[in-house]
Chain A
Amino acid sequence: MDLSTTYLGLKLAHPLMAGASPLVDDLGMVKRLEDAGASAIVMHSLFEEQITREQEGTILDMELHAESNAEALSYFPTPDEFRLGPEKYLEQIMRLKAAVSVPVIASLNGTTPAGWLHHGKLMEQAGADALELNTYYLATDPAETAAAVEKRTLDIVRAVKSEVKIPVAVKLSPFFSSLAHFAVELEAAGADGLVLFNRFFQPDIDVEALEATPSLQLSSSADLLLRLRWLAILHGHVKGGLAVTGGVHTGLDALKAVMAGASAVQMVSALLLHGPERLAQTRAELTEWLEEHEYDSLQQALGSMSLQKCPNPQAFTRANYMRILNGWKP
């Protein structure tokens, strides 16, 4: 079965790839992912403010008490080389590139245009085949308008695109008031693809300690539904590739994503839960289904259930909501 697909201009044997996660920190694990057939490797995000804070924090920790006391002009050795920048990340790109033959997509999460540009360029130089810009951003400031949030993201995409030659995908959150419009704007700004969606880190509440506790739940197939809807809506409106991330655990999940419009399918939770081999299994299931149903290729299914092609498009829209509400009986 021909599962081949094109994502961000990269010709891939099939759409299933390892999404951004700590799995790629370990070279051995990355090898296993390649062995399991991952068509590309997406690295976890390099956070710009993490670098900045690390720089500032380390320097403050080291310097705050220095030169204050006659007996101790400093409290730490001064290494010849400080590696408080993105060096570690860049080295990992190089290591991955050397270790695997599939494309490596670097991921960057930044807050300032300067940071994006600088680090994006460095990632390209380190050998990344494409960039995934992660716009993980919580608009908590009541004074900030939706337009301002969108504008900043668009500015960043334009800036990065003007600096790097490799394709750039934008990983979005579902929380935009007019996502379809924004998606088109992003493409106009130069985005080569969109990744749906970021899974927000959602703190829990410890009622005993009266504290918010960090928590990150792994996804389940239920998380896929939101993505299917938006893939379906966006497919056909944007020329670039759409990728799904969050909720693909089985071959059937992957198939649905492709049918809704995804050219690429990123898997994380399923791999964390079941190991890299899950990817091979998913691919087998996908192949099996397509063969059973006598498809010629995966391309035949791509976008077949998008809003534009789906026989009952109202299912993705407001009508579905009304129908389900009305159908609910206590």
Chain B
Amino acid sequence: MSPRVMKTLDGNEATASVAHRLSEVIAIYPITPSSNMGEWADEWSSQGKVNIWKTIPSVIEMQSEGGAAGAVHGALQAGSLTTTFTASQGLLLMIPNMYKIAGELTPFCMHVSARTLATHALSIFGDHSDVMSCRMTGFAMLSSDSVQQAHDFAAIAHAATLRARVPFLHFFDGFRTSHEVAKIEILNDEDLRQMVPDELVATFRKSALTPDHPMIRGTAQNPDTFFQAREACTPYYAAAPALVQQEMDRFAKLTGRQYRLYEYFGHPEAERVIVAMGSGCDVTHEYVEHALQQGEKVGVLKVRLYRPFAIPEFVRALPASVKKLAVLDRCKEPGAPADPMHLDVLAALRQGREEGHTTLDPVVVGGRYGLSSKEFTPAMVKAVYDNLAQDRPKNHFTVGIVDDISHSSLTYDPAFDVEPKDVTRALFYGLGADGTVGANKNSIKIIAEETPNYGQGYFVYDSKKSGAITISHLRFGPRPIRSAYLVTKANFIACHQTSFLDKYEMLETAVPGATFLLNTPYGPDAVWDTLPVEVQSAIVEKQLKFYVIDAYEVAKNTGMGVRINTIMQTCFFAISGVLPREEAIEQIKKAIKKTYGKKGDAIVQKNFVAVDETLAHLHEVKVPAAVSATRKRPPMVADEAPDFVKRVTAVMMEGKGDLLPVSAFPVDGTWPVGTTKWEKRNIALEIPEWDAGICIQCNKCAMACPHAAIRAKVYDPAELAGAPGTFKAVDYKGPEYKGQKYTIQVAPEDCTGCSLCVAICPAKDKSNPKHKAIDMVPQAPLREPEAANYKFFLDLPEADRTTVKLDVKGSQFLEPLFEYSGACSGCGETPYLKLLTQLFGDRTLIANATGCSSIYGGNLPTTPYTVNKDGRGPAWANSLFEDNAEFGLGLRLSVDKHQEFALELLHRLAPSLGDDLVSGLATADQATEAGIKTQRERVAALRQKLAGLADPEARILNDLADYLVDKSVWVVGGDGWAYDIGYGGLDHVLASGRNVNVLVLDTEVYSNTGGQASKSTPMGAGAKFAMAGKTLPKKDLGMIAMTYGGIYVAKVAFGSRDAQTVKAFLEAESYPGPSLIIAYSHCIAHGYDLALGAEQQKLAVDSGHWPLFRFDPRRTEKGENPLQLDSGTPKVSLGQYVRNETRYRMIEQAHPEAFKQLLETSQHEITSRYSVYEQLAKLTMPGK
């Protein structure tokens, strides 16, 4: 047998590597944190990697997890070894099929990176709430603690299911295990063949559905037989645990790693024992090792096989000495007598005694930990054991939080730690864009694969998509690392961005004598005076070794741009001493060659130069004996921020949300809006500066800004009283606001520096056309004056909504009620949302499908939807991914019902209210802003009258009166939702005839989960699951919707024709039935500098890829053709458009001939489609 190799990889890759080799069919749907497993499988199959039977597994991406489960079920029925990967809501969508698969006793193994289920909020992080929801399906459930186990258990589960006929759900902790990078031993194909011999597969295949030996499954049974037939499977569940143990034993013989269904570790005469499952077992194990040295009689029972729950094996695994048990659940079942595993253990002990497997009768308490990847540390484990040591241990406790409401929480000492002293622990604070995480993954590989050391890497990411911070937690040591928690005591801390020092207390975790590396423009002699008091104090008090480098300067001089990863990595190796310097540099270069070698020699050379240049620019700082700074770290939020923001939001912004107690939070997930405005992120290196003299006052910059960080106002000159000295204002140029002043103002601390506004600005200096009415200039010198100007600007009166002309220019005088979101710099989606809120925001309800728009729209700590001075603004909610159209329809139904009821009440109370008011309210024309304003005034008058009425119905009407003002309901989501997972619901809602407006932010790919192909992905574009370029054309959602006849449909691209975009929004909203706007949204997943987004949108339209049109059913009634084409015959070739984007270029580079074919076919398809549109737009329609 070929020797096994050691590799560093994450839990997802470790699992997928086994699953891919043991499967023939893989049907998946991307969902965090499991997506990578499917992506690996697809990548390997695309590369021609075979399974252990030397055939390439078929991988298919489905439209939803429900779809994936259906495909899996079918593939199994037809006799293929099949697998899937999923998590969270995705797993819930598979449940119906899971019952079927288990009911049919089908050998099948699925892999789940266990993730939190959305309740009061969505969370992408890890706990067991999803897998626990599958307890009743009849699936066996096998849990892994670590990356190595995820790899091993994948093999054991695939083997066991074939022997037991019970399907398996193999799971491990989302993120903590799925995304942890660790050094593990890789099973080779021979190992897998030993585990899954051919005869097992042959037996499975015999049950395949085939017309050559037909049988029937999926019958309907009746009261006479269903019950007995359901009981027939029982022996298989009784036999399963022994079969799993048998596979574990077989595995042990092969690899030397012996696993047990329930594995005890600890003192042989332990009195206090913790029962746990998942990565928490490793943490508990680490504590127990420490406690044993202290002579404590403690132990941990690790649950591997959770279902079937094997009572005899479980109770026998407990030491006979046990007096008290604490069962830890990583999920919450509100209202249950206890959380799931706690109940199982209670039942197991009781039954175990009754059936004679044990005589043990310990005290059993249960507790919750680690929800949504909440940290679970040895300190918390200690708290659990300490609790057990009490005479009456707290039951139904929580650990890791402060529960000051129900007082469930155990107190623990955060300073307590048991980390082995010979483990190097390093923390790196980087920016997403600077490549820190990638470099650290490389460093772990270098150390773990080139030395006998073990390595562990875990990466914490920001919830923002622009200017995002990443924190890398690395450990290196001589033994496998069980510390499945963040580094809290670091001997090396690197800060890759100077500005972070003012935001995060990163030196809090430094141990005395640790090394601190700072990337700063200041040299070793100048840097000290730039540090705030807190940083200086930590350096002095902890006697840190302090190094500086100007990595950006080195990067600039070596052609690395903003990528300082290689430079900072070199610094780490140079000063951390984990490897001899020369050897480290050689290894870094080797890693560079490995990473970039196949992508291009030029890159390799540049990186080499950067490595060589680094050491000359790395300096140790002579640390003064005392703190000299007077400048303190600035407060997180401005003093005028609301109390809640200061108490709660600011703490979260600082990265200290873990410290907030239960009482700090709303009980139902309801949060105040408009909080991004308090988070002055200052992430732009350059911001736009306005030259009023050149400006033609078109407001296109404001229209294009993804972050509402450049705005326009027109106002009375008298308002300028008290303006800051540098505030700019000019006379308004047009006739509509004659005599008024005009200002374009940038929000310097909120701008992300994308420069879309500058790219779109049409006004050039006639003598120096390089200079436009707005240019990008360095932010730092403008930060303070422009912040003051912006504050003044915000206080200027808003435009009168009743008189603003609703075109591109006018719309930008309306206040945006969506601002400073965490979307990517240059995002192509958010300009549409901002426009939506400008036009209708004060009367809009938004149903938002899960995806990018729900993340930048609703990810804490701060959210971008806000209110106007009257306190009105968009009411926003995210239900799920798949149900968004229906959710939005529900909002509409409710709003309509309220209005209908209010009108009924109005008429019933008419005698008391007066006919004028009632008929005014009931027949109001609310088609215009003026009409809405008048109606709001009528509602105010109504309220006054109602206050004087004693009739109980007057109270009800008072509550509903606001609904007499029309509400605008918007259903917002991406193409993954609209074209794929939510399409069925969307279709139904569009066909419902109800007045909902659907906005599809079409990036032509799953953006949020990282670039998987959707049915909107165009032909020839590369995406995950379309690695060789999509071979089928993009689904024409607009055309499909038009076939109903009664749906308003528009296709828009603001970068091509913003006027058409504004028109479409207004028409869609005014149309009294369903409307659908499909909005071209450029995206980082297209692969080019998004500053050119508008330019690319133009090409998309001009090439015919994205024809602009509006289909308005109201025109039919007038005998006009409902379809108006708003873009002309394609005038540039498709190639001119697509070759600007990496998603296409990468396909051309890899498969030039195939791409040529795809491009030709696609060009033909686009030309034909345009022709169809053109002909449809020319049809004459019979009038009514």
A-B contacts, 21 listed (Cβ < 8 Å)? A55-B601, A56-B600, A57-B1142, A60-B561, A62-B1142, A63-B435, A68-B432, A68-B462, A68-B465, A69-B462, A70-B461, A71-B35, A72-B1008, A77-B1011, A79-B1022, A83-B1150, A84-B600, A84-B1149, A88-B1149, A118-B601, A210-B769
Contact surface of B with A, Cβ cutoff 8 Å = 32-33, 35-36, 39, 42-43, 46-47, 124-125, 175, 179, 431-433, 435-438, 441, 459, 461-462, 465, 468, 470, 561-563, 596, 598-603, 605-606, 764, 766, 769, 824, 855, 1007-1011, 1022-1027, 1084-1085, 1087-1088, 1142-1143, 1145-1146, 1149-1150, 1152
Verify A70–B175 contact, CB threshold 8 A.
yes
| Contact status A69-B766, CB under 8 Å | no
Complex contact A76–B599 (CB within 8 A) = no
A71 contacts B1009, C-beta separation under 8 Å: yes
| B465 nearest CB neighbor, chain A only | A69
A77 and B43 within 8 A (CB): yes
Asked whether B602 lies within 8 Å of A56 as measured between CB atoms, the reply is: yes
Q: Which residues of A contact B596 (CB under 8 A)?
A: 59
Q: Mark A32-68, 1 if CB is under 8 A from B, else 0.
A: 0000000000000000000110111111111111111
How far is A208 from B49 in the complex, measured between Cα atoms in Å? 56
Point out the residues of chain A lying under 8 angstroms from B562, CB to CB. Answer: 64
A294 within 8 A of B: no
Q: Does A75 contact B (CB under 8 A)?
A: yes
A215: interface (CB < 8 Å): no
Q: Is the CB of B1152 within 8 A of A88?
A: yes
Residues in B with CB closer than 8 Å to A61 are 1087-1088, 1142
A82 partner, pick from B124, B462, B599, beta carbons under 8 A: B599
Contact residue among A52, A65, A76, A81 (Cβ-Cβ distance under 8 Å from B602):
A52
Q: Give bound CA distance, A180 to B175, whole Å.
A: 70
Interface size grouping (class) on chain A? 35 or more
Q: State the Cβ distance, B145 to closest chain A Cβ, in Å.
A: 21
* Residue of B124, B601, B764, B1024 touching A70 (CB-CB under 8 A): B124
Q: Which residue of B is nearest A82, CB measured?
A: B599
Please state if B769 and A62 are interface contacts (CB–CB under 8 Å): no
The answer on a CB contact under 8 Å between B433 and A80 is: no
Contacts A61-B1087, A69-B462, A88-B1149; A74 near B1011 (Cβ below 8 A) = yes
Contact A51 B462 (CB under 8 A): no
A274 CA to B435 CA, complexed, in Å: 52
Q: Are A72 and B1010 in contact (CB under 8 A)?
A: yes
Residues of A within 8 A of B436 (CB): 67
> Closest approach, in angstroms, between the C-beta of A113 and any C-beta of chain B?
13
Measured CB to CB, the closest approach of chain B to A247, in angstroms, equals 29
In the bound complex, residues from chain A placing their C-beta under 8 Å from that of B1088 are 61
Bound complex: CA A59 to CA B766 (Å): 37
Which residues of chain A have C-beta atoms less than 8 A from B42's C-beta? 77
Told that A60-B563, A67-B470, A84-B599 touch, could you supply 4 new A-B pairs with CB distance under 8 A?
A56-B606, A58-B1146, A67-B436, A88-B1149
| Given the contacts A62-B1142, A76-B1087, A82-B599, A69 and B461 also touching, CB distance less than 8 Å | yes
A residues near B1027, Cβ cutoff 8 Å: 77, 79
Least Cβ distance of A265 to chain B in Å? Answer: 31
B768 to chain A, nearest CB (A): 10
* A-B residue pairs, 4 tightest by C-beta: A68-B432, A72-B1010, A55-B600, A67-B437
A146 CB-CB contact with B under 8 Å: no
The answer to whether B1087 and A62 have CB atoms under 8 Å apart is yes
User: In the complex, which residues of chain B have a beta carbon less than 8 angstroms from the beta carbon of A51?
Assistant: 600, 602
In the assembled complex, which residues on chain B have CB atoms less than 8 Å from the CB atom of A62? Answer: 1087, 1142, 1146
Interface assignment of A78: CB less than 8 Å from any CB of chain B: yes
Closest chain B residue to A84 by CB distance? B600
Q: Which residues of B contact A71 (CB under 8 A)?
A: 32-33, 35, 124, 855, 1008-1010
Does the CB pair B1142–A78 fall under 8 Å?
no
Asked whether, in the complex, the Cβ of A67 is within 8 Å of the Cβ of B435, the reply is yes
* Interchain CB contact under 8 A, A58 and B602: no
- Give A76 to B465 CA distance when docked, in angstroms: 16
For the complex formed, measure the closest distance between the CB of B127 and the CB atoms of chain A, giving whole angstroms: 15
Task: Name the one of B43, B47, B1010, B1145 contacting A75, with C-beta atoms under 8 angstroms.
Answer: B1010
Given A71-B1008, A79-B1027, A82-B599, A65:B1146 Cβ within 8 A: no
Q: Which residues of B contact A72 (CB under 8 A)?
A: 35, 1007-1011
Roughly how many angstroms separate A61 CA and B1142 CA in the complex, as a whole number? 7
Say whether A141 faces chain B, with CB atoms less than 8 Å apart. Answer: no
Is B1145 within 8 A of A82, CB to CB? Answer: no
Chain B contacts of A81 at CB under 8 A?
598, 1150
B1084 A67 Cβ-Cβ under 8 A: no
What is the minimal beta-carbon distance from A39 to any residue of chain B, in angstroms? 28
Compute how far the CA of A51 lies from the CA of B602 in the bound complex, rounded to whole angstroms.
9
A82 touches B1149 (CB 8 A): yes
Q: Is A216 an interface residue (CB 8 A)?
A: no
Query: A211 within 8 Å of B by Cβ?
Result: yes
Q: Which residues of A contact B124 (CB under 8 A)?
A: 70-71
Give the distance to chain B from A74, nearest Cβ to Cβ, in Å.
6
Q: Once bound together, how far apart are the Cα atoms of A24 and B1008, in whole Å? A: 42
Q: How far is the CA of A78 from the CA of B433 in the complex (A)?
A: 18
What are the residues of chain A within 8 A of B1150 when measuring CB–CB?
79, 81-83
CB distance from B556 to the nearest CB of A (A): 14
> Which residue of chain B is the closest to A81 with respect to CB atoms?
B1150
Write out, one digit per residue, whether chain A residues 204-215 have a CB within 8 A of any chain B CB (1) or not (0).
Answer: 000000110000
Interface residue? A284 (CB, 8 A): no
Query: Is A76 in contact with B1143, judged by CB distance below 8 angstroms?
Result: yes
A11 to B654, CA, bound (A): 77
Query: CA separation between A114 and B1024, bound complex, in Å?
Result: 35
Question: Residue A22 at the B interface, CB < 8 A?
Answer: no
CB distance from A255 to the nearest CB of B (A): 38
A67 partner residues in chain B, CB cutoff 8 A: 432, 435-438, 441, 459, 470
Residue of A nearest to B1005 (CB): A75
Among B431, B1007, B1011, B1022, which residue has the most Cβ atoms of chain A within 10 A?
Answer: B1011
Q: Give A282 to B605 CA distance when docked, in angstroms.
A: 48
Closest to A76 in B: B1011
Q: How far is the CA of A56 from the CA of B1010 in the complex (A)?
A: 21
Tell whether, in the assembled complex, residue B1146 and residue A76 are in contact, meaning their CB atoms are under 8 Å apart: yes
- Given contacts A67-B459, A73-B36, is CB(A58)–CB(B599) below 8 Å? yes
Which of A59, A72, A76, A210 gathers the greatest number of chain B CB atoms within 10 Å? A72
Contact B461 A58 (CB under 8 A): no
- Decide: A55 near B769, CB < 8 A? Known: A78-B43, A81-B1150: no
Q: A75-B1011, A88-B1152 are in contact. Are A58 and B470 (CB under 8 A)?
A: no
A74: chain B residues within 8 A (beta carbon): 1010-1011
Contact B599 A75 (CB under 8 A): no
Which residues on the B side are within 8 Å of A211 (C-beta)? 769
Q: How far is the CB of A243 from chain B (nearest CB, A)?
A: 30
Q: Give A81 to B1152 CA distance when docked, in angstroms.
A: 13
Nearest to A212 among chain B residues (CB) is B769
A85:B601 contact, CB within 8 angstroms: yes
Q: Is the CB of B1149 within 8 A of A77?
A: no
- Determine the distance from Cα of A61 to Cα of B1088 in the docked complex, in whole angstroms: 6
Question: With A and B bound together, what is the CA distance between A308 and B1087 in angstroms?
Answer: 58
Q: Known contacts being A51-B602, A59-B599, A71-B32, is A76 close to B1022, with CB within 8 Å?
A: yes
On whether the beta carbons of B1149 and A58 are closer than 8 Å, the reply is yes
CB neighbours of B470 from chain A (8 A): 67-68
Judging by beta carbons under 8 Å apart, are B1152 and A68 in contact? no
Contact B461 A65 (CB under 8 A): no
Known: A62-B1142, A68-B433, A84-B1149. A75 touches B598 (CB 8 A): no
B1087, A55: Cβ atoms closer than 8 Å: no
Closest residue of chain A to B766, judged by CB? A210
Q: In the complex the two chains form, what is the Cα distance from A57 to B600 in whole Å?
A: 11
Bound-state Cα–Cα, A79 to B1148, Å:
12
Shortest Cβ distance from A233 into chain B, in angstroms?
39
Complex CA–CA separation, A70 to B1009 (angstroms): 9
Complex Cα spacing A56 to B1089, Å: 13
A112 smallest CB distance to B (angstroms)? 9
* Residues of chain A lying within 8 A (CB to CB) of residue B1087: 58, 61-62, 75-76
Quick one: closest A residue to B435, CB to CB?
Answer: A63
